[in-house]
Amino acid sequence: MLHIYNTLSRTKEPFKPVNAGQVRMYVCGMTVYDYCHLGHARMLISFDLIQRWLRASGYQVDYVRNITDIDDKIIRRAVETNRRIGDVTEFYIDAMHADEQALNVQSPDREPRATQYVGEMLDIIGRLQQNGLAYQADDGDVNYAVRGFEGYGKLSGKTLDDLRAGERVAVGSAKRDPLDFVLWKSAKAEEPPETKWESPYGLGRPGWHIECSAMSKSLLGLPLDIHGGGPDLKFPHHENEIAQTEGAFGGVLANVWMHCGPLMVDSDKMSKSLGNFRTIRQTISVGQPSDADASYRANPREAEMLRFFIVRNHYRSPQNYTPDNLIDAQNALDRLYQTLQNVAPDAQGIDWNDAQAQAFKAAMDDDFNSSGAIAALFELASQANRGADARAAGQLKALAALMGLLQQDPAVYFQSATRYSAAAIEQGGAAETLDAERIDALIAERAQAKQSRDFARADAIRAELRAAGVELDDKPGGVTQWRRA
């Protein structure tokens, strides 16, 4: 039986959806004002893995992941670049989709945009006002009265006393309490006209937190089976969502809360605010992607390396980003592909009675323990290599498919250059030292040298290719395969 760690209860629990066989899952998505960084990649891939396993387990999944397309950061980017809000958001939505495609992240079933649900947000604000949980301040903003919601802090474990310690109302603030948060922002004269909506409170726009309350309730109903997001959303975003939704409608917002772990850089979380981030496209692109183009050409070997780097760790654990860790992930993934190149897998599908398939399932049913599932894949690779076992290789490929891995043609995979290898590092991180045409020409020259019994030249060509990070594998019948080390 599937067990999931619930952030709300702080325990691992048997998963029991509201409706048997169905899962309604809402995950907080991107605020689209810039390119996605590797921390975003971890969230995207973690919840992609989760929804894949839920479907593989027989659940009918309705996976909703929203887009925040109105926000202070978006407005600031539009003003700074002299573009319309819609032009900014469309550009970065396209860029996000390009990243997802490169990382083999399946699209959510529905991808609502906040600007499509302003009416539903205003309805929730009205309900909160009627319930004594919202008030319009002198500056025109509508705020949530945190003191009025008894359960505030239950997700994060923060008490109101803890939160109030040291808090002061800022000079000029119209809030009744420093912990109160904005539901509706009164329009400012200098803001672009497309950021202003009519409302009972005057022209304005929604606060960030109210957006997800409206979209999740409108699309999936209450309670959600699973609500998820990145580690930084637990407080205040998800805490405020609970206060809004439960304050307006009663009941509970979600039965299970899930949060992936942070991606760390030298003990700090990777984030744009800290300036220590690296974008997805910087990490896996062929060449230098243009900032003027939302799309780019991804290196398929490096893209799968990044996915593997993330899924080989449990989704809740902190994960440290270093070039050495990426190289280690690339080398490990190469070993699995080498197995599939050496042993052609059969295509009979997954035999769940197999010991390693059972180990894979047990790991994934244990709070989506992907690191345990990866261990089962390596055991299958060992079995396949020991006896040229096509059945084990087939199990390896079929189980890996459930994780979005090992579906490339091994020959094509190995002919793709990578920056994340010992050879590339030795050569200064060059993405490619010899192109495929030059490699094929040298292999042809080597074949001719061997035919002419000029074995010294043939050996010299092999050494030249090895120095360039290219390994040769001579097959029966005079066929030579090559791969980048």
pLDDT tens-place string over residues 56-107 = 999 999 999 999 999 999 999 999 999 999 999 999 999 999 999 999 999 9
117 vs 472: CA distance, rounded Å? 58
Angle at the Cα of 185 from the Cα atoms of 184 and 188, rounded to 5 degrees: 155
Grade residue 166 by pLDDT with cuts at 50, 70 and 90: low
Question: 225 falls in which pLDDT band (50, 70, 90)?
Answer: very high
User: Cα–Cα distance between 485 and 413 in angstroms, integer?
Assistant: 11
Structure confidence at residue 106 (pLDDT): 98
Write the DSSP symbol of residue 255.
E
Query: Can you tell me the distance from the alpha carbon of 313 to that of 326, in angstroms, rounded to the nearest whole number?
Result: 13
DSSP 172-232: T---SSTT-EEEEEEP-TTS-GGG-B--TT-SEEE-HHHHHHHHHHHHH-SSEEEEEE-GG
Can you tell me the distance from the alpha carbon of 467 to that of 470, in angstroms, rounded to the nearest whole number? 7
- Span 394-416, mean pLDDT? 96
169 — pLDDT class (breaks 50, 70, 90)? very low
List the alpha helices (DSSP H) in 137-179: 160-164
Q: How far apart are the first and last CA of the chain?
A: 41
Cα 100–102–107 angle (5° rounding)?
30
Residue ranges at the known binding site for ATP: 272
Q: Is the sign of the CA dihedral 264, 268, 269, 270 positive or negative?
A: negative
Span 299-416: which CATH code?
Answer: 1.20.120.640
Global pTM? 0.91
Amino acid, res. 199:
S
Mean pLDDT of all residues in 116-128: 98
**pLDDT score of 168 more than 70:** no
Q: Which residues touch 482 (CB under 8 Å, ≥6 apart)? A: 414, 415, 439, 443, 465, 470, 471, 472, 473
Tallying the residues shown for the chain, one arrives at: 485
The domain locations on the chain are: 3-132+209-264, 299-416, 436-484
Per-residue confidence (pLDDT) for residue 430, from 0 to 100: 45
Dist CA 231 CA 262 (whole Å): 6
What pLDDT does 221 receive?
98
Beta strands in 230-321 (DSSP E): 254-259, 263-265, 268-269, 319-320
Q: What is the pLDDT of residues 316-355, one digit of tens each?
A: 999 999 888 999 999 999 999 999 999 999 988 899 999 9
Strands (DSSP E) contained in 80-167 are 134-136, 142-144
Q: What is the mean pLDDT of residues 361-378?
A: 98
In 3D space, the residue among 116, 110, 99, 9 whose CA is nearest the CA of residue 61 turns out to be 110
3-132+209-264: CATH architecture: 3-Layer(aba) Sandwich (3.40)
Higher local confidence (pLDDT), 10 or 439: 10
**Binding site as annotated, residues:** 28, 212, 237, 241, 272
Q: What is the pLDDT of residue 170?
A: 53
Instruction: Say if CB 281 and CB 296 are below 8 A apart.
Output: yes
pLDDT tens digits, 171-213: 457 899 999 999 999 999 999 999 999 999 999 999 999 999 9
Q: Point out the annotated binding site for Zn(2+).
A: 28, 212, 237, 241
pLDDT at 429 over 90: no
